[in-house]
Amino acid sequence: MILVWMAALTAVLALLFAAWNAKYVLDQPRGNERMIKVAGAIQKGADAFLSRQYRTVFIFWLILTIIFYVASLYNIVPAPTPMAFTLGALLSAVAGYVGMEISVRANVRTAKAAEKGLRHALDVAFKGGSVTGMAVVGLALLGFSLMYAIYGNPVVLIGFGFGASLVSLFARVGGGIYTKGADVGADLVGKSEIGLPEDDPRNPAVIADNVGDNVGDCAGMAADLYESYVITVLAAMLLAFYTKLPIHVIELPLVIGGVAIIASILGSFVVSTDNKNRIWHALNSSLRISSVLAIVGFFLVTWYLGLLQYFPSMLLGIVVAVALAEIAGHYTNKNTVAVREIAIASKSGAGTNIIYGVANGMRATLFPIVIIVIAILGSYYSSGSVFGIAIAAMAMLSLTGIIVSIDSYGPITDNAGGIAEMSGMGKKVREITDPLDAVGNTTKAVTKGFAIGAAALAALSLFVAFANAASLTSIDILNPLVISGLFIGAMIPYVFSAIVMRAVGSAASKIVEEVRRQFKSIKGLMKGTAEPDYAKAVDITTKSAISSLAAPAVLAIGSPILVGVLLGPEALGGLLAGVIVSGLVLALMLTTSGAAWDNAKKYIEEGRFGGKGSDTHKAAVIGDTVGDPFKDTAGPGINPLIKVINMVSLLIATTIITYSLPVFLHLVAI
Amino acid sequence: MILVWMAALTAVLALLFAAWNAKYVLDQPRGNERMIKVAGAIQKGADAFLSRQYRTVFIFWLILTIIFYVASLYNIVPAPTPMAFTLGALLSAVAGYVGMEISVRANVRTAKAAEKGLRHALDVAFKGGSVTGMAVVGLALLGFSLMYAIYGNPVVLIGFGFGASLVSLFARVGGGIYTKGADVGADLVGKSEIGLPEDDPRNPAVIADNVGDNVGDCAGMAADLYESYVITVLAAMLLAFYTKLPIHVIELPLVIGGVAIIASILGSFVVSTDNKNRIWHALNSSLRISSVLAIVGFFLVTWYLGLLQYFPSMLLGIVVAVALAEIAGHYTNKNTVAVREIAIASKSGAGTNIIYGVANGMRATLFPIVIIVIAILGSYYSSGSVFGIAIAAMAMLSLTGIIVSIDSYGPITDNAGGIAEMSGMGKKVREITDPLDAVGNTTKAVTKGFAIGAAALAALSLFVAFANAASLTSIDILNPLVISGLFIGAMIPYVFSAIVMRAVGSAASKIVEEVRRQFKSIKGLMKGTAEPDYAKAVDITTKSAISSLAAPAVLAIGSPILVGVLLGPEALGGLLAGVIVSGLVLALMLTTSGAAWDNAKKYIEEGRFGGKGSDTHKAAVIGDTVGDPFKDTAGPGINPLIKVINMVSLLIATTIITYSLPVFLHLVAI
């Protein structure tokens, strides 16, 4: 139990570090009145979104808590499940809330700091981001350690994981629909129809667009990785518990988390530069140093605990994290062959731009899969058990703190640029915020690669835990029930993507109508003598995004229950495997295509092939529009989808082995 | 053995019927000199493509035959394998060759017949199509029956199936790259750049485009379904043989084929109408009547043979065939909600057109998967064994004759329209050929739905046969090797699609250059006083398509060998399951999106939302361009991909259980 308390202590350390960074950010000057006003509007919009989202989550939470409470009365789930579920969800909501509140305050302070130079702006933005990063891992590890310390049994914590999943699904998908609905809507009507530049204060949807960066890229990503982190710890501990490994092995995942927190805190101190070409290098150094320190820490700990057989798994986990980030860069960074090819294809029109972009996303699935397969097999055979695979996943996820710090830096600088533009801060400030923002695109792509791989490995660990919970010693694909489940599972990510992409389209078209209405009814808006009604646009996007959440949530929660009850536990096992493998490749394809289109457009905007305004550029803009829901809604939304489906299955595992149609009909497998 | 001879007899009947229809078509008048000249150019282009393609196939055939010969000397494969392989490939090539030779002769005769009215034109076009349809099933069933009669053992026929697979891969993928390279290239430069209408004789790529219809939609589809047919018979017979079922059960698949041939011949007599709004109805009636007759025949035969337990499986197979066709129509037909929605989305630009089109393709995966799962489980539990699933697949595939007849009608009418346009036959003829051609789009979508489902079920049967051949009694997804295989399998269709879509892009850009060159160098071309060099454009497309074939072929043949040798038979089993489920959903998505984009464009061209030339139309044209390689190259190319991978695995099954890395290292599954 001493290991658990030590893990809890490092979690407290992470929270203190987050608080220290938060205080630093809040102590910075906010700039002039105009800046404060713009930032205030973004802040209000973000709050409005979060409060409405949390209200929707509250309803689901209430229903599910009652179900868990009743189920616990009949001993279907352990008695503390409603409480664990509530805590898991609550801490995720708190992490998202805190992260976003700091993020929407760091943006204006970053813009102000840019007046003093790059080093200051980078400092404020990164410290703001690391509040989210450290809050995520701190709250996750603290909550989990304490609950485990109290009950001494990871089975009780399945509810905790499901709480994380619930919030993640809503935050990631709702945020994803919001951010791209606002973005596509603002672009369609503002840029294309009326001819306003990006971030022009006359565009009524411009604040909604900036809010979107925070709710999607910051709060959504944070909840996603919080969930992956929690369920990876959960799955690893469950596996060790089910296979009756010694106590200190069961607690090993918590130790991994603790070690990596210290490594991440140390690594975050190196982010500093004056050179605008070295920003990515500065951020990346923190990841590299954290990784190396974590590896050293893992070695010392496993050596001390006499568990060196798990060290290769941990090493592989870190390698996967770094490799996925590198590969994502290779297919999406602005100066790569892949992106240049898409830019060249744009010369013959939008059609070829799209064809090459999709093809680029498709081929970008190869190396991540190879890396993941190497990690699965390497960690399995080096450790001698599937627990090794879970340890590799945990090692990868243990870097969540530093990864989210780097990622959350993105929306802060993106907003800072927007605030500078809208409050007329002048060219000098933009020259600082623009390169900061451009690196934000790279960090986004890198984090997405990490988040997808993390979700897949986390879900894979859950999948094995599910099999243990359902007492399945094998899940045989030759069994027609299993292959049926596999077919259904492979299809679900497609249907899910269709639902959320249509939701983006619907939100965007509502924004378009509203912007057109404002330009018609508000006199002097075009000339800049009257102000648009930003709040109205924010409200419409919020309502549209939140009301679109029911369908994907029902799909994610309902499909495993339906298949489990109708086709039994083995079919459900097939479904889980199907959804993991199909979801992983589809998500990789969607996010890679989207990021590459975005950068191909930027590549042309730098003056190549006719530059801005040319036909080639117009074709690239179309690719970018298509890429928006690919990379920021459907692609990342698949992460919580596959995790939620696996969580629900784990929850119902013991029930469906007794109550399901095949059992009832005495249908036997081959 | 009497059953086998009866099946062979019906196969001969199919060939005689094909010959009779061929004679009828060739006896029709060819029209004036100008028509004959245009048709001659298409014919020459198609011949040039086929001869070059068969030369490439010949090289692969030679290498593989030598390998099989050597392998047979060491008893790794049965002695007749090289011969069976050769025959399987040869008959496929003959079916494709005959079908295409008639198709490129029926086109001009259909145009000529259109002068006499709709009934005559439909008659010539459908009879031309049924030559291909009947040749495909006749040659497949005849070759298979005779080989089986000689050797009395289906194991010997694995080579025959692989021969079919080899030709199919090349014909489908090569044809797909050719047809869309020419189409996209001709459109990009002809329509968009120079402003020529469709099928304008001044466009140097117009003949290549017409050749593409034949080599892609006719020869490619024929080879694809020939392969599905052959390997479904093979897999069903192997399963019965491995599980030691009685002789008349082993021969049941051949009987199913024979019964359906008679039903298809009878069904094909009802295709006739004078009403241009009833063309699809007339074609569809033949499918429905054939289906009903086949069901009646299946009932009588199973009742007579005392095998009624397999009748429900056969019924389910036919239901799947009809249901997949209906579902494909629901998401792609011109007057459906789905297509109208895409047309409406085009109003806000190409970006939203693409987003809604992709989303439409993605959600269109739901019902086909549900239907296939019902068929798998229904046929398994009603028959009591996996052999029932293979029988359902066989019943579905037994309709190949009538399906290919309906499908091959499409390129003939498409070409007829082109010939009418290019030889200036006047408006009255176009008024007949246009509605005939429009129905061709529906038949294409329907056949594609059928072909994808058929490929999935055929591959599934092969997969089970593979497990038997490799003596695997279970393939456990909880085994890390199997899950690794599953990941790799799910990724392969994506990488494959990327390769072939890029090949289309590359072929198209070569066409664009050539057309530009001709307009620059040939004086009077634009005014119509000089003739373009059609042959040169055909030659360039042919070379480009054929040279792109090596990479997908190596992927399809190499990946199962690599995984089998490195990771062993269980991982290979995982790979097969992964490639089947992931390939099925991806192919469904790609073909549905493409067909719906095409029809959304046509919907607008009928005068809606501004009609031709409007911005909405331009957006829809971009969607159609993207859809071309989706629906005619990558989507259908996945069919042979999943079958070839399964065939190769079946071939190497017995070898890799002895010679593979995991066996060598004594790595044991969980």
User: Residues 100-129, chain A: which have Cβ within 8 Å of B?
Assistant: none
DSSP A477: T
Token pair recorded at residue B450: 């059928």
Counting residues of chain B whose pLDDT is more than 70, the rounded percentage is 99
Enumerate the domain spans of chain B. 2-665
Distances in Å between the Cα of A237 and the Cα atoms of A249, A257, B2, B76 are 8, 12, 63, 47
Mutation site, B370, B374, B499, B581, interface A, largest A CB count within 10 A: B581
- Looking from the CA of A536 toward its CB, the CA atoms found within 13 Å total 15
Q: What is the mean pLDDT of residues A125-153?
A: 94
Scanning A152-251, the segments in alpha helix (DSSP H) are 158-186, 206-212, 221-242, 247-250
Phi-psi region at B31: left, alpha or beta (left = phi > 0; alpha = psi -120 to 50): left
Q: Is the dihedral of CA A137, A142, A147, A150 positive or negative?
A: positive
CB–CB of B293/B372 below 8 Å?
no
Residue A486 to residue B577, Cβ atoms within 8 A:
yes
Nearest to A86 by CA among A104, A112, A111, A60: A60
Residue B88: predicted pLDDT: 94
Look at chain A and count its residues: 670
Q: How confident is the prediction for chain A on average, in pLDDT?
A: 91
Is residue A265 pLDDT above 90, yes or no?
Answer: yes
CB of A308 less than 8 A from some CB of B: no
State whether residue A476 is helix, strand or coil. strand
Q: B23, exposed or middle or buried, with CB in 10 Å at 0-12, 13-18, 19+?
A: exposed
User: Average pLDDT, stretch A279-297?
Assistant: 93
- DSSP codes joined into one string, B343-379: HHHGGG-HHHHHHHHHHHHHHTTHHHHHHHHHHHHHH
> What is residue B476's three-state secondary structure?
strand
The separation between CA B298 and the C-alpha centre of its own chain, rounded to angstroms, equals: 25
Query: What does the alpha-carbon distance between residue B133 and residue B410 come to, in Å, rounded to a whole number?
Result: 12
Is the separation of the CB atoms in A634 and A500 below 8 Å? yes
Residue A597's identity, in one-letter code, is: W
Cα distances (angstroms) measured from residue B351 to each of A12, A178, A592, A620, B623: 47, 18, 17, 10, 9
Task: Give, as one character, the DSSP assignment of residue A622.
Answer: H
Written as one letter, the residue type at A273 is T
Residue B262 is predicted with a pLDDT of 96
**Residue ranges with strand state E in B40-197:** none
Q: Count other Cβ atoms within 10 Å, centred on residue A191.
A: 15
A149: Cα within 13 Å, side-chain hemisphere = 16
Going by pLDDT thresholds of 50, 70 and 90, the confidence category of residue B600 is very high
Contact A382, A313 (CB under 8 A): yes
Amino acid residing at B115: E
Tokens 């409405």: give the residue: A52
Spell out the long-range contacts of A66-72 with Cβ–Cβ below 8 A and sequence spacing 24 or more: A68/A159
**In the block, residue with structure tokens 């046969």:** B465
Highest mean pLDDT of the ranges A48-62, A416-430, B559-573? B559-573
Helices (H), B474-607: 480-521, 534-547, 550-605
ipTM topping 0.90: yes
What the block records as the tokens of A555 is 């799909």
- Cα–Cα distance measured from residue A215 to residue A45, given in angstroms and rounded to the nearest whole number: 10
Q: How close B13 gets to chain A, by Cα (Å)? A: 37
Give the confidence band of B55 by pLDDT, cuts at 50, 70, 90.
confident
Task: Identify which of A373, A512, A589 has the shortest CB distance to residue B488.
Answer: A373
Which residues, numbered 619 to 638 in chain A, qualify as contacts with chain B under a Cβ-Cβ cut-off of 8 Å?
621-622, 625-626, 629
- In the predicted structure, residue A422 carries a pLDDT above the cut 60: yes
Q: Which residue has the tokens 């002769």?
A: B105
Confidence of residue A576 (pLDDT cuts 50, 70, 90): very high
Highest mean pLDDT among A610-614, B39-43, B101-105: B101-105
* Confidence bin at A670 (pLDDT 50/70/90): very low
Does residue B585 belong to the interface with chain A, where contact is any CB pair within 8 Å? yes
If we measure between CA atoms, which residue out of A14, A488, A651 comes closest to residue B371? Answer: A488
A184 vs A542: CA distance, rounded Å: 14
- Rounded CA-CA distance B195/B187 in Å is 9
CB of B354 less than 8 A from some CB of A: yes
Q: How much is the average pLDDT of A483-503?
A: 96
Extract the tokens encoding B102: 């008639």
Q: How far is residue B632's CA from residue A465's CA, in Å, rounded to a whole number?
A: 42
pLDDT value of residue B670: 36
Residues of A in contact with B490 (CB under 8 A): 369, 490, 581-582, 584-585
The set of residues, in sequence order, having a beta carbon less than 8 Å from that of B367 and lying 6+ positions away, is B323, B327
Q: Which has the minimum average pLDDT: A82-96, A430-444, A548-562? A: A430-444
Residues pairing with B476 in the sheet? A476
B421 within 8 A of B156, measured Cβ to Cβ: no
Q: Given a cut of 70, is residue B669 above it in pLDDT?
A: no
How many whole angstroms separate alpha carbon B377 and alpha carbon B477? 19
- Cα(A553)–Cα(A539) distance, rounded to whole angstroms? 22
Looking at residue B121, its pLDDT comes to 93
Kindly give, in sequence order, each residue whose CB lies less than 8 Å from that of residue B251, ignoring residues fewer than 6 positions away.
B1, B3, B4, B7, B148, B237
- What's the helix, strand, coil split of chain B in %, to 5? 85, 0, 15
Q: What is the mean pLDDT of the segment spanning A157-184?
A: 91
Q: Among candidates A212, A339, A332, A406, which has minimal Cα distance to A589?
A: A332
Please give the pLDDT value at position A655: 85
The shortest CB-CB distance from A351 to any of B487, B577, B622 is to B622
Band (pLDDT 50/70/90 cuts) for residue A667 is low
**Residue B30: exposed, middle, or buried by beta-carbon count in 10 A (0-12, 13-18, 19+)?**
middle
Assess contact for A582 and B578: CB atoms under 8 A.
Answer: no
Mean pLDDT of all residues in A556-566: 95
pLDDT of residue B50: 87
Query: What's phi and psi for A273, nearest 5 deg?
Result: -165, 160
What phi and psi, each to the nearest 5 degrees, are found at residue A660? -155, 155
3-state secondary structure of B313: helix
What pLDDT is stored for residue B667 in this prediction? Answer: 65
Which has the higher per-residue pLDDT, B498 or B332?
B498
Task: Check pLDDT > 90 for residue B305.
Answer: yes
Residues 438-497 of A with CB under 8 A from B: 460, 464, 467, 472-478, 480-484, 486-491, 494-495, 497
At residue A30, the 3 state secondary structure works out as coil
Task: Write down the pLDDT at residue B272.
Answer: 85
In Å, how far is A269's CA from the nearest CA of chain B?
38
- Which of A36-50, B308-322, B446-460 tops mean pLDDT? B308-322
From CA A35, how far away is CA A55, in angstroms rounded? 30
Instruction: Over range A142-148, report the average pLDDT.
Output: 94
pLDDT for B421-455, tens place per residue? 888 888 888 888 888 888 887 788 788 888 898 88
Query: A182 is written with which tokens?
Result: 């606002």
The residue among B479, B147, B236 whose CA lies nearest residue A460 is B479
Assign residue B275 a region: left if phi > 0, alpha if psi is -120 to 50, beta otherwise?
beta
Cross-strand partners of B647 = none
Residue B476 backbone dihedrals phi, psi, to 5 degrees? -90, 120
Instruction: Give which of B359, B625, B351, B349 is closest to A622, Cα–Cα.
Output: B351
Contact B522, B530 (CB under 8 A): yes
Vertex A321, ends A319 and A326: CA angle to 5°? 90
Q: Is the pLDDT of residue A372 over 90?
A: yes
Partner A contacted by B566 (CB < 8 A)? no
Q: What is the DSSP string of A70-132?
A: HHHHTTSS-TTHHHHHHHHHHHHHHHHHHHHHHHHHHHHHHHHHTTT-HHHHHHHHHHHHHHH
In A, residues 368-427, which contact B (CB 8 Å cutoff)? 369-370, 372-373, 376-377, 380-381, 385-386, 389
* Residues A236-259 pLDDT 10s: 999 999 989 999 999 999 999 999
CA distances from B324 to A367, A394, B286, B321 (A): 34, 43, 17, 5
| Cα A382 from Cα A310, distance rounded (Å) | 7
pLDDT above 70 (res B174): yes
pLDDT, one tens digit per residue, over B184-213 is: 888 877 777 777 877 788 888 888 888 888
Confidence band for B316, pLDDT divided at 50, 70 and 90: very high
Share of chain A above pLDDT 90, in %: 59
**Touching check for A554 and chain B: CB below 8 Å?**
no
- Quick one: pLDDT at residue A640? 92
**The pLDDT value given to residue B425:** 85
Give A-chain residues touching B464 at CB under 8 angstroms. Answer: 478
Angle at the Cα of B500 (from B495 to B501), degrees rounded to 5? Answer: 95
Of A177, A283, A325, which Cα lies nearest the Cα of A636? Answer: A177
Q: If you average pLDDT over every residue of chain B, what do you get?
A: 91
Q: How far is CA A120 from the centre of its chain?
A: 27
